[in-house]
Amino acid sequence: MKREKHCPNCLKTFACTSQCWCSAFPPIVPLNEIRGCLCPDCLKRDIQERIQSWTSSLTPKKVKTIQQMGKPSQLIEGIDYTVNEQGFYVFTSWYLLRQGKCCGNGCKNCPYQKIEKL
């Protein structure tokens, strides 16, 4: 069943189904039942802001919480990776944390170098 919704932030119309697109996003923005669901762009922006806040000052507790989320079911550009000028995918520190450990490949955004200093 497809329902039409309106984003409370930008007022854009978007579709909501039983297999909702939002389930691919990390569950870190609490659903506000009074405010309602956000459109894909606003939800992505809210999640990016929350991720930036969490990863800017990592603590062992934050790292463990992020790692317990496990690997994402699907990758989302701007959250799990970016595409650089050469067209290569670059994993974000958020994605690398969700992997649970350092892969040892010297990733550009490797958060584990920061964690070792904690």
Contacts of residues 27-31 at CB distance under 8 Å and 24 or more positions apart, as own/partner, are: 27/69, 28/54
Q: What is the pLDDT of residue 31?
A: 65
Do residues 72 and 95 touch, judged by C-beta distance below 8 A? yes
Rounded-to-integer distance, Cα 61 and Cα 84, Å: 31
Rounded-to-integer distance, Cα 4 and Cα 103, Å: 42
The per-residue pLDDT for range 24-39, each reduced to its tens digit, is 888 776 666 667 788 9
Rounded-to-integer distance, Cα 16 and Cα 24, Å: 13
The per-residue pLDDT for range 42-95, each reduced to its tens digit, is 999 999 998 998 888 888 888 898 999 888 888 999 999 999 999 999 999 999
pTM value is 0.79
